[in-house]
Amino acid sequence: MEEPRDLGRCAARHLLLCHLPFAEDDTNGYLDAAFRAARIIDLPDIRLLTRPLQREEL
């Protein structure tokens, strides 16, 4: 079995987070946690899909 990759060495420039609950359905605070994590991650382009039918172009 392979060892997990060290994501600290990942060469990604973009991160798109999807499958997040809509604000009115977020009873567990996943959106707040996702926004906090996005501020900590050192990538130039992080986008969170939080609205119905939201689209992003990379």
**What residues of the chain score a pLDDT lower than 50?**
none
Largest Cα separation within the chain, whole Å, is: 41
- pLDDT > 90: what percent of the chain? 41
pLDDT for position 12: 78
pTM, entire model: 0.68
In the chain, beta strands by DSSP E: 14-17, 45-48
Partners of residue 46 on adjacent β-strands: 15
Contact 49, 58 (CB under 8 A): no
For tokens 């991650």, the residue is 41
Which pLDDT does position 8 carry in this prediction?
Answer: 63
